[in-house]
Amino acid sequence: MKPKVAFFDMASCEGCQLAILNCEDIFLNILELIDIVEFREAMSDKAPRFDIAFVEGSVNRELDAERVRDIRARCSVLVSLGACACNGNVQARSNFQAPAENLEQVYGSEDRNRVQTDPQFWPLWAHTRVRPLKEVVKVDYELRGCPVDKGEFLHLVKSVIAGSIPRFAPKAVCVECKMNGNECVFERGETCMGQITYAGCNAICVSGGYRCDGCRGPLPEANLRAHRQLLREKGLSDQQIDNRYRLFCSTDNMAREGGS
Ligand code: SF4
Ligand code: SF4
Ligand code: SF4
């Protein structure tokens, strides 16, 4: 019997589900291992129960939290799929502003007044707090990144089927960056989140000529206070550092750093 697998999305861009659908080179291998019973982006079937649930996206409303709890009750293994589900991602930045400020940034001052006085919309805005899945339900595994890495996805599926624990070595992006022979961006007077961020992406952004912005989240042992001090020494203000930390993983970074 192949395990039944289902995919769900909360608040997200659906890019992680798309990344999995785009794995043409391994998708046939995957289908030999599992039965996909629910996947809104790819099929219309619904399933009452499943063995593994991959859940993409953050929990923004109580409605979403109820949905995640229902998914948890219907599966044996629940996996957070991508940075939105693991760490809240960019939408969690809204947690640091008052709802009225968020509304103004999205709608502008004129429309903000209209939405704010509309009982259909305002309660949604007033009661939104972006949470990663692990703040709402027990999460068995996390697939990090924005979007997730297909190799890690396949490793996780094979491990769960084999009854073993998937291994995602807790090393920093710097390790993969150096293995790729990249010049460190600090040498150019720029800054980077690679020292405190989970590897697994092969340092793709630095290898491509940019820097690491930390989409895979902070390592368990990362010394965020020392990293903040380093960024200060490189000339970033605390506000700029907060913006960098909150870009992808504010819920993890800020919780572990104890605030800015
Ligand atoms: S983690 Fe990134 S790619 Fe995946 S759903 Fe969220 S925003 Fe999209
Ligand atoms: S560029 Fe970033 S990831 Fe690469 S070695 Fe420097 S700090 Fe680490
Ligand atoms: S280099 Fe950094 S920002 Fe880029 S994919 Fe890897 S963890 Fe994410």
We report the CATH number of the domain holding residue 49 as 3.40.50.700
- Ligand closest to Cα of 247 equals 3
Closest-lying ligand 2 atom to the alpha carbon of residue 182 = 4
State whether 45 and 113 are in the same domain.
no
Tens of pLDDT, residue by residue, the chain (260 residues): 899 999 999 999 999 999 998 887 777 878 888 999 999 888 888 889 999 999 999 999 889 999 999 999 999 999 999 999 999 999 998 898 888 888 888 889 888 888 888 888 887 788 788 999 999 999 999 999 999 998 999 999 999 999 999 999 899 999 999 999 999 999 999 999 999 999 999 999 999 999 999 999 999 888 989 999 999 999 999 999 989 998 988 777 655 664 44
State whether 188 and 242 are in the same domain.
yes
> Is 192 within a domain?
yes
Closest-lying ligand 2 atom to the alpha carbon of residue 177 = 4
State whether 33 and 151 are in the same domain.
yes
| C-beta atoms surrounding 130 within 10 Å | 23
Closest-lying ligand 3 atom to the alpha carbon of residue 199 = 7
Q: Which of 129, 132, 143 has its CA nearest to residue 53?
A: 143
State whether 66 and 109 are in the same domain.
no
**Distance from Cα 216 to the centre of ligand 3, integer Å:** 6
Is residue 212 lining ligand 2, measured as CB closer than 6 Å? yes
Which residue has its alpha carbon closest to ligand 2 atom 1? Answer: 184
Specify the DSSP class assigned to residue 201.
Answer: S
Parallel, antiparallel, or unpaired for β 52-56 and 77-81? parallel
State whether 139 and 29 are in the same domain.
yes
> Is 167 within a domain?
no
Q: What is the pLDDT of residue 118?
A: 86
Last residue in a domain, options 114, 140, 162: 162
Q: How many CA atoms lie within 13 A of 133 on its CB side?
A: 32
pLDDT digits (tens, 9 = 90+) for 233-244: 999 999 999 899
- Ligand closest to Cα of 143 equals 1
> Is 168 within a domain?
no
Domain with 42, as residue range(s), is 4-88+130-162
Which residue has its alpha carbon closest to ligand 3 atom 2? Answer: 212
State whether 115 and 156 are in the same domain.
no
Is residue 193 lining ligand 2, measured as CB closer than 6 Å? no
Is residue 13 lining ligand 1, measured as CB closer than 6 Å? yes
- Chain centroid, CA 129 distance in Å: 16
Q: How many CA atoms lie within 13 A of 247 on its CB side?
A: 18
State whether 186 and 227 are in the same domain.
yes
What domain count does the chain have?
3
pLDDT digits (tens, 9 = 90+) for 58-105: 999 889 999 999 999 999 999 999 999 999 999 998 898 888 888 888
